[in-house]
Amino acid sequence: MSRQLGRTIAIANPAARSGKGAHAAEFVRRYFEAHSSATDKFHMQLTNASGHAQDMAAQAAEADTVIALGGDGLINEVVNGLMQIPAAQRPILAVIAMGSGNDFARTLGSAINDPEAALTEVMMGTTKQLDLGVLDKDTPQEKYYIETLSFGLDAAIALDTTNRRAADTHQQGATLFATSGLKIMSKAHHGWAFSASYCDAAGNKKEIAGHEIIFAVQQGVTYGGGFQITPKADASDGLLDLCYNCSLPMVPNTLRLFGLTRLGKHTRSRHLAFDQLTHLDIHFPEEIPPGQIDGEKIPKQEHHSIDVVPAALKVIISNNTTD
């Protein structure tokens, strides 16, 4: 049965996917104009600059549903805006994925770059409480994330894909991530010194240190347009999933692991370690590695904290993901 979304605001990036976001936004606007019973009131808002979506979402306390139309960066902004609204008044989030990576849509089981199918899933979907990750909680740098946070080569690759998209590369998604990976990982050899402490799923405190080239603290399974870095991650289990290199492989092995990650077949490697956690502190005593949060650059600093916020947000998910 089709749902009723109540007072609804769609926040759309018209520049998403080389301008296809504008056509998707127009399709959504026309749908709700033609189906007035689907909402109590509908309003479309288009972004025009970085940070605009966050500002608009933060002012959406009177809405029942906020639809984020764009890529993971736009969705991240919307979520950070919604988290400024007290939990009791926080609108439900719905997603129409129109981006290059679309990893959060994969977590939701949603259609990708298909606004008609995605909107159908929104109208027929199920509401579920999902967790969020948060970087540097309770500081001026606080930032929530929906899917992925990492430091090292994988972050450098993610940032390279962002730069290449801005330069209008014809590649998209996993192909774009893979070609950036071949370019950057072929230069990997030394890693970045780090030390970290974290609380695991059982509440035990653990300490790790070494030279990292991959250090991902995931809320969802994938990054980079479908690379399954933490195949067992569950966005509603109250935990973040950690993947990091516990030894430093030679460059050929690094490239091999990169390829295996595409299908989640890297988990048996002796060079990698996995765990689940609720809180992590990480320190970089020497050179600070590249860092990314949902594909956006993390400002370089020696210390970071990472936490999970359980059941932070009500999100409409595809019925394909339900048990």
Q: How far apart are CA 151 and CA 135, in angstroms?
A: 12
Q: How far apart are CA 189 and CA 224, in angstroms?
A: 22
Task: Count CB atoms within 10 A of the CB of residue 1.
Answer: 5
pLDDT tens-place string over residues 262-295? 889 999 999 999 999 999 999 999 999 999 999 8
Residue 48: is its pLDDT beyond 90?
Answer: yes
pLDDT at 322: 46
Tokens 């998910």 -> residue: 317
Side-chain half-sphere of 60: how many Cα atoms within 13 Å? 34
pLDDT at 36: 94
Choice between 257 and 246, residue whose per-residue pLDDT is larger: 246
Tokens 């072929």 -> residue: 186
Residue 321: is its pLDDT beyond 80?
Answer: no
Confidence of residue 163 (pLDDT cuts 50, 70, 90): low
Choice between 323 and 58, residue whose per-residue pLDDT is larger: 58
Pairing relationship of beta strands 149-152 and 7-12 according to DSSP bridges: unpaired
At 200, the amino acid letter reads D
Residue % of the chain over a pLDDT of 90: 76
Q: Where are the alpha helices (DSSP H) in 135-235?
A: 153-166, 173-185
Confidence of residue 159 (pLDDT cuts 50, 70, 90): confident
Q: How far apart are CA 233 and CA 221, in angstroms?
A: 5
Residue range 145-171: mean pLDDT, rounded:
77
Token code pair at residue 103? 């990893």
Average pLDDT, the chain: 91
